[in-house]
Amino acid sequence: MSERKPIRSALISVFHKEGLEPVVKLLHQSGVALFSTGGTHQYIESLGIPVKTVESLTEYPSILGGRVKTLHPKVFGGILARRESPSDREEMQQYGIPDFDLVIVDLYPFEKTVASGAEHQDIIEKIDIGGISLIRAGAKNYRDVLIVPDSRHYSELLEILTAGGCAATEEERLRFAAYAFAMSSHYDTAIFNHFSALSGYREFRFSTGDAHSLRYGENPHQKGEFFGNLEDVFVQLHGKELSYNNLLDLEAAIALIREFSEPTFAIIKHNNACGLASRERLVDAWNAALEGDPVSAFGGVLITNKVVDEATATEINKLFFEIILAPGYEKNALELLQTKKNRVILQAKSFDFQDKQFRSLLNGVLQQEKDIRTETPDNLRVVTEKAPSEAEVDDLLFANIIVKHSKSNAIVLAKNRQLIGSGAGQTSRVDALKQAIDKAITFGFDLKGSVMASDAFFPFADSVELAHKAGITSVIQPGGSVRDEESINYCNTGGLSMVFTGVRHFKH
């Protein structure tokens, strides 16, 4: 640890003042000279603490409606001056420029302004120029300056100042410089993405939250990290640390459960649903979901859209599973589920995510809109002589949601709003169907009167023929094959109903 360098002067220019008071009071008690701007200056004065205006230093007023306040050599010279450089010291003395050992900045809330739906000019005015320049200058000269780029770091700053007697080590200044460049990069990314959307000019830019080290990646020999703010998505109430694969399963589980409003339970294994059912009572939804594939459910990820009651928890507790995510838990239900030490129990907070998804690939990045299209009865086009019944339409839409969230090639079989068989991630559609039928039969389901959903069109009539022989009576698929008529003709001959959605739901 390097020697601590004392802080004798500080420049403070912030948007958010919450948490700043104890910092300012400690600086004042330690004899630090304070300089500030606009609203921050008024705030510090209201605390009864002496503070000089930046204008008193620059001898130049804030101009252009506050657009220009700190952009002056006497401000940036005081930040960028190299303390050990004789020529820098000479120029500082020549032009009457004071050193700034600490710079505290909190930028205009550009992202929140955009998200609020504000007018274009209001958004433009929330592009911080002086603040971002102060941040970059302080970070560049971290050997001499401690830069605080965000209100989130006020508490850590207070800890450093308290422990170090209003002084900081070079290691601490370097860490805060990293915070600063992270903030600068994130801020500029948000601005670019807004202007990219307005102008149509495209380059890939993405920025998210802090890094969370994971036990390992997809496999133990791979390192893994998550970048983001999981605490915005859920609260962990119990259990061990989440893994890379856990997060992949949770992503798939959340995307799926968001499609349902009635009490629903889903069991996820390797990003696919191996069990899912909707019922009036949650405990019944759980039991029906488990029936779908009790073998694959072992060690799975569970998710529901309703508060878990004691009756449901009692049934769930009979199964070994890794994770459960729910909007909430009754007191007795939570206590029961917590009896397993490593079991992860999560309580949902917000599923408000961005509408884009991307993945690294070759020497670049693929980006696309998320597949948020969900078909309704109005989107169904009956292409057979026989139309599906009202109950079959309900099951067809239910199955179509599940197949949309299954790895391609995918087939889903459903009956009475229960997943009874699925084939996912297969190299041929007919193989996916064979797997789905085999699973349904293995777990004792009667396929007579069940429905089939496919994530893409059938290239041949072999799939509907196999489905018919198994007892399936209705089919939902996108359509679009040059040989659609073969499948339609077979359905007409066999007395099946089939609907086209016109929407493919590949998932790779």
- Can you list the positions of beta strands (E) in 154-252? 167-168, 211-213, 225-227, 234-238
Contact of 7 with 167, CB cutoff 8 Å: yes
What distance in Å separates the CA atoms of residue 135 and residue 187, rounded to the nearest whole number?
11
* CA proximity to 72, closest of 92, 55, 91: 55
Cα dihedral sign for 133, 134, 138, 141?
A: positive
CB 407 within 8 A of CB 507: yes
**Using the 8-state DSSP alphabet, how is residue 505 labeled?**
-
Distance, CA of 453 to CA of 487 (rounded, Å): 14
Is 270 catalytic? The answer is yes
Q: Which residue among 74, 140, 212, 306 is the active-site one?
A: 140
Q: Which residues contact 44 (CB under 8 A, 6 or more apart)?
A: 12, 24, 34, 36, 51
CA nearest to 2, candidates 168, 183, 176 = 168
Helix (H) or strand (E) holding 331: helix 331-337
Contact 12, 34 (CB under 8 A): yes
CB of 447 closer than 8 Å to CB of 411: no
Q: Which of 52, 270, 340, 386 is catalytic?
A: 270
Cis link prior to 141 (omega < 30° from 0)? no
Question: Does 469 qualify as catalytic in the annotation?
Answer: no
CA 454 to chain centre: 28
Other CB atoms within a 10 A radius of the CB of residue 176 amount to: 25
Q: Burial of 230 by CB count in 10 Å (0-12 exposed, 13-18 middle, 19+ buried)?
A: middle
Give the residue numbers marked as catalytic. Answer: 140, 270
